[in-house]
Amino acid sequence: MNRILSAAIRPTKTAAMFASLALLAGCAGSVGGSGTDSDTAAGEGFADDASQGEIDEALADLDPVTLKFQPSSMSEKSILAPNGLDVKKAIEERSGGKITVDIVWGQAIASYADVDDALADGRVDLAFTLPSYTPAEYPAFDAIGTAMSTLPSSPVASDLAANAAGVQAAWETPEVLAEFEDKDLVPLIPMLAAGGYSTMCSKPMTSLDDWKGKQLRVGSAAAGKQVTDLGATPVSLSFPETYEALQRGTVDCDLGQLAPNVEAGTFEVAPNIGVASDAGIARSAGAITAGKKYSELPLAYQQVVFDSMSTTFSTMMEVVIGAKAMAVEQAKDNDGSVEPFDDDVQKQMAKYAKTLSEKTAKTAGVPDAPSTLNTAANDWQKSVSELGLDDKGDFANLDEWYPKDVSYDDLGDELFDNVMAEHRPK
């Protein structure tokens, strides 16, 4: 049973998600206190398996606090809204109402380009951030995100394993944690890779010849290099401009996650989805980080927030993978197709992914990052299978076989127990 559920506070999830519109070195010990061990955090804490009564007792003499949280969602009606709402509910109920989470939708306080500074100076307290947008500032983080292109790809099981592996590899790479610490940030989940990448095109694009001369909107430098290697031209374009660019034929495809395109209505103008079946595309991964105010909170409050991260992980996966099923349905409704890339594309993609991964890791000074990630991914693939979360069909029929009441709480609990718990503030 989920540790937060056992404390009688587990939030209700995915039914609301499908009803709503749906977007997407020194810290080797615990987190807290500007990225260092949080032994200096004031007050007494509690065990991660404590009863609600024990938690209430630990928090009894603490003053109420309010935390500003910027999740990945554009609005309360977004497909990604549960990523904010579930975390808010988990924190508030586990704290017995002593912590209030004020959700700020749509990056209204700070854009992704500014959110690190906003966390460090206290304008925002908790946030979904995108370190992959600034690879020069987060080279070790970027190396793990790039290495994800070498992992197997499938609609459900591989995405679950890749995301759990990304969390583990980030925690196990001191250079990644140091990058957050250098910015006075505290990683709560140091990497959230979310969903794998697909092509969404106005016309089917599955063979190597299909790629030649096409223009694809990309979201990262690494993805751009992979697109170029396949003979296409990467285009840097803000996501809100993508629909019109596809409609006008300025670009042929969007290359990215399916979830935000569900919300944007992309499949009205680009209903042909291309998916990888082996190696894939480097991901623009995110993270859940905390800033100045979190570092100054009493220990018990830090623990309440940190313990909600199993909820954050499982909710993110429910939202992202659920959106894939919605994307497949929307593509079909618009007379589109869902097809795997041909073998010639897949082989070239896999070869270049390995080369790019190794080069990026070496340049970042973390040459072992790809092997760390791959080892973790193999282990988590076994765990996913043992939990009965294997794929039940292929991508093209995902809308038919994907269960709308799925829960990944057990996987979130296992990830917390096996990887995250040792980094819990103490």
DSSP for 160-228?
Answer: HHHHHHHHHHHHT-HHHHHHHHTTT-EEEEEEE--SPPEEEESS---SHHHHTT-EEEESSHHHHHHHH
Question: Which pLDDT score is estimated for 42?
Answer: 65
Measure Cα distances from 107 to 104, 130, 330, 388 in Å: 7, 12, 27, 36
Question: Which pLDDT score is estimated for 40?
Answer: 44
**Mean pLDDT, to the nearest integer, of 276-300?**
91
Q: Which residue segments constitute the domains of the chain, with CATH numbers given?
A: 3-199+278-409 (3.40.190.170)
Question: Which pLDDT score is estimated for 279?
Answer: 79
Q: Pick the most confident of 48-52, 70-74, 167-171, 225-229.
A: 167-171
**Mean pLDDT, to the nearest integer, of 326-351?**
95
**Per-residue pLDDT at 8 exceeds 60:** no
Band of pLDDT at residue 221, cut at 50, 70 and 90:
confident
Stretch among 34-43, 359-368, 400-409 having the lowest mean pLDDT:
34-43
Band of pLDDT at residue 21, cut at 50, 70 and 90:
very low
Question: Which pLDDT score is estimated for 26?
Answer: 31
Counting beta carbons within 10 angstroms of the beta carbon of residue 314, is it exposed (0 to 12), middle (13 to 18) or buried (19 or more)?
buried
| Tally of helices (H runs) and strands (E runs) in the chain | 19, 11
Question: Which pLDDT score is estimated for 396?
Answer: 95
What letter would DSSP give residue 63? P
**Per-residue pLDDT at 2 exceeds 70:** no
Question: Which pLDDT score is estimated for 28?
Answer: 33
Give the pair of three-digit tokens for residue 82: 């549960």
Confidence (pTM): 0.88
pLDDT single digits (tens) 157-166: 999 999 999 9
Which of 396, 279, 254 has its CA nearest to residue 343?
279
φ/ψ (deg, to 5) at 198: -135, 165
Question: Which pLDDT score is estimated for 261?
Answer: 93
**Mean pLDDT, to the nearest integer, of 367-382?**
97
User: Are residues 284 and 133 in contact, defined by beta-carbon separation less than 8 angstroms?
Assistant: yes
Burial 409-425 (b: 16+ CB within 10 A, else e): bbbbbbbbeebbbebbb
For residues 183 and 87, give the distance between their C-alpha atoms in angstroms, rounded to a whole number: 24
- 99-103: strand order across its sheet: 99-103, 65-70, 126-129, 286-290, 186-192
Average pLDDT over the chain, rounded to an integer: 89
User: Are residues 262 and 81 in contact, defined by beta-carbon separation less than 8 angstroms?
Assistant: no
Give the pair of three-digit tokens for residue 57: 């007792």
Question: Which pLDDT score is estimated for 281?
Answer: 85
For residues 178 and 187, give the distance between their C-alpha atoms in angstroms, rounded to a whole number: 10
What are the helix (H) ranges across 207-342?
Answer: 208-211, 221-229, 242-248, 258-264, 292-296, 299-307, 309-333
Question: Which pLDDT score is estimated for 283?
Answer: 81
**Per-residue pLDDT at 124 exceeds 90:** yes
Write the DSSP string, 66-135.
EEEEE-S-SSTTSTTTHHHHHHHHHHHHHTTTSEEEEE-GGGSS--TTTHHHHHHHTS-SEEEE-GGG-T
pLDDT single digits (tens) 80-118: 899 999 999 999 999 999 999 999 999 999 999 999 999
For residues 29 and 270, give the distance between their C-alpha atoms in angstroms, rounded to a whole number: 46
**Mean pLDDT, to the nearest integer, of 17-34?**
37
**Per-residue pLDDT at 17 exceeds 60:** no
Band of pLDDT at residue 15, cut at 50, 70 and 90:
very low
Q: Which H or E run contains 33?
A: none
**Per-residue pLDDT at 50 exceeds 60:** yes
Question: Which pLDDT score is estimated for 14?
Answer: 37
pLDDT single digits (tens) 179-211: 999 999 999 999 998 888 999 999 999 999 999
For residues 124 and 288, give the distance between their C-alpha atoms in angstroms, rounded to a whole number: 12
Which of 369, 416, 375, 374 has its CA nearest to residue 176?
369
Question: Which pLDDT score is estimated for 196?
Answer: 87
User: Are residues 32 and 425 in contact, defined by beta-carbon separation less than 8 angstroms?
Assistant: yes
**Mean pLDDT, to the nearest integer, of 4-8?**
39
Residue with tokens 């939202």: 319
Question: Which pLDDT score is estimated for 34?
Answer: 39
**Per-residue pLDDT at 36 exceeds 80:** no
Band of pLDDT at residue 238, cut at 50, 70 and 90:
confident
